[in-house]
Amino acid sequence: MNSITGQEVSEPSNRAIVTVVEPFSNPKITIRPPQNITEGDKIDIECTTVLSPQAQTEILIQKNRTILNSTKGRETVTYSKIATMEDNDNYTCKAELGSVSKISVVNVVVTELFSKPELIIQKPNLDEDSWLVVRCQVNGPQSINVFLLKNNNILRNSSNYIHRARVSDSGAYVCRAEVKGIVKESDPVLVRVYAPVSQPVLSQPASQVAVLGKYFILYCNSSQGTPPIIYTLYRGNVFVKNKTVGTKNKAAKFEVQALGMHRLEEYSCHAQNGHSRTEKSTGLNITVIAPVGNVSLGRLPEGDVEDGQELTLLCSVSSGSFPIEFHFFRENNAKSLHWVTEGKKHRALWHRTGITSQDAGRYFCRADNQAKSFVESKRIVVNAKGNSLELASSMPATNSMGEKLTLGQNNEREFFYGYNEDDEKNHINSKEENKGADNENAEVEYTEVEVSVPDPYRAPVAKKNETVYTEIRKAVNGK
């Protein structure tokens, strides 16, 4: 070994030849027939390779990522099928062993034998007893077998179907075409045959009252007709709302707000389905009830009531639909002292004779009507002082309009109250004649009243120079 400038170089080593042997050859893919493939033809795909001795190579045929067939330790793998339009794609022959893989790719083109059928139905929504016309259209050889199906059941082996429609003809229709084992179906068409709706009936629950500003219920129902049925509610000619009902002979439920525009409102409903005919109910008049409001309690006389004298309470409301029911109460006594139903007046009276100390207490009145939303007045306190009773209240004897009241009696012991613009005490006209045995035949003396009532639901409002008298009729002989 020679040393040159401090470096040493070894003698050359022996040389060796390295040979790399392929475990398999490049795979080959073959298509039969190689071209002019038509739907219905049989196609064979073959994948081959040459393996080294004892190699456990895997060979497979793929379409995209789907493995159609495979083998291991053999040099050939095949795949056969009847060609369809779905077979148009690239096919891969792949051989692999461990981390070594080789592929070969070929494109398969399949020609369409016949087109996808088209189902033609001019009117999928039909009136009952009209003509149902179904036609199947398909392009291809004359030997195509065509079937019409309804709900997946063969209706007939024909491309045309004409029939007088019945409700039972509703369903999903499909056209199926078949040649050489190739089957194609059209997109389904849903056919609905509608029986006409009967005249709907609009009704209101018997126990229900339409109260101003609140919601009430109306039902609309057609006993006949193919569902779904669309019900539309109208107030007069004004649309209110609609509801769709999908069950036969089931009523549509409407929740409607009672408006104050009209006291008597006419409602109607229309019913329609897929049939060309629409039906309308007869009108239903709904009376809107205005609840009572602003109840007040007045009394006569204004001051003390001496033991044995009389007391009159006046209960009045500012508004409310008739009839109005008035109740008079003494506090801590659930039973009313007196009640009366008024069909024309917004006020009522309770008269008591022979007042004693046992009548002391707090009094109030309650008013209600069909709205069932009663209102109570403020309390009036009656105090007993010595031989007299004092009526204690922050208010003088007034009605709902704040007008001062006075009490009078005619010769039949009938009482009335009144007021005038000067706030003077009303005079009581009493006839002294015809007393005793003729007392039962005495006539009531009336004072004429001239009142303008612009709103039947609101209590009268007094005008200037106008005097209003309300009779207080005391029951004769204890009545």
Pick the CATH number of 201-289 from 3.40.50.720, 3.40.50.1370, 3.30.1370.160, 2.60.40.10: 2.60.40.10
β-strand partners of 401: none
Per-residue pLDDT band for 65 (boundaries 50, 70, 90) equals: confident
pLDDT at 417: 38
**What is the second-level CATH architecture of the domain 118-194?**
Sandwich (2.60)
Which of 3.30.200.20, 1.10.357.10, 2.60.40.10, 1.10.8.10 is the CATH number of 296-430+445-478? 2.60.40.10
- pLDDT of 409 reads 40
Q: Which two tokens stand for residue 78?
A: 């095949």
Average pLDDT (191-219) is 93
pLDDT computed for residue 242 by the predictor? 94
Predicted confidence band of residue 259 (pLDDT cuts 50, 70, 90)? confident
Q: Which residue has the higher pLDDT, 63 or 262?
A: 63
> What pLDDT, on the 0 to 100 scale, is given for residue 403?
42
- Residue with the bigger pLDDT between 380 and 456: it is 380
Indicate the burial class of 135 (C-beta count within 10 angstroms; 0-12, 13-18, 19 or more).
middle
Mean pLDDT of 265-276: 93
Residue 433 and residue 351 in contact, taking contact as beta carbons nearer than 8 Å: no
Average pLDDT over residues 431-458: 36
Residue 128: what pLDDT? 95
- Mean pLDDT computed over 380-387: 68
When comparing pLDDT for 92 and 476, which is higher?
A: 92
In this model, does residue 454 exceed pLDDT 60?
A: no
Greater confidence, 50 or 243? 243
Kindly tell me if the per-residue pLDDT of 190 is higher than 60.
Answer: yes
Nearest C-alpha neighbor of 45 from the set 24, 25, 66: 66
Percent of the chain with pLDDT over 90: 46
The residue extents of the domains of the chain are: 28-111, 118-194, 201-289, 296-430+445-478
Q: Is the pLDDT of residue 471 over 60?
A: no
Q: What is the percentage of the chain residues whose pLDDT exceeds 70?
A: 76
How far apart, in whole angstroms, are the C-alpha atoms of residue 108 and residue 36? 10
Residue of 411, 409, 401, 413 whose CA lies nearest to 426: 409
pLDDT of residue 410: 35
For residue 272, pLDDT over 90 is answered with: yes
pLDDT-wise least confident of 4-8, 121-125, 131-135, 303-307: 4-8
pLDDT for res 457: 44
Top-confidence residue, 263 or 111:
111
More confident residue, 464 or 191: 191
Q: Which CATH number fits domain 28-111: 3.20.20.100, 1.10.3130.10, 1.10.3720.10, 2.60.40.10?
A: 2.60.40.10
Instruction: Note the pTM of the prediction, 2 decimals.
Output: 0.61
pLDDT of 317-366, one tens digit each?
999 999 999 999 999 888 989 999 999 999 999 988 888 888 888 899 99
What's the whole-number average pLDDT of the chain? 79
What is the per-residue pLDDT for 60?
93
Q: What was the pLDDT predicted at 209?
A: 87
The reply to whether domains 28-111 and 201-289 share a CATH topology is: yes
Statement: residue 434 has pLDDT above 50: no
Lay out the sheet containing 100-108: strands in order across.
Answer: 66-72, 58-63, 89-97, 100-108
Torsion sign (Cα): 188, 189, 195, 199? positive
pLDDT attached to residue 19:
66
Per-residue pLDDT, averaged over 253-258, amounts to: 92
pLDDT > 80? residue 182: yes
Section 104-128 average pLDDT = 92
Average the pLDDT over 90-98 and give the result: 90
Query: What average pLDDT does range 382-394 have in this prediction?
Result: 56
Of residues 398 and 163, the one with the higher pLDDT is 163
pLDDT at 401 over 60: no
Report the range out of 245-259, 446-460, 461-475 with the highest average pLDDT: 245-259
Minimum mean pLDDT range among 16-25, 41-50, 135-144: 16-25
- Region of poorest pLDDT, from 55-59, 311-315, 396-400: 396-400
Kindly tell me if the per-residue pLDDT of 59 is higher than 50: yes
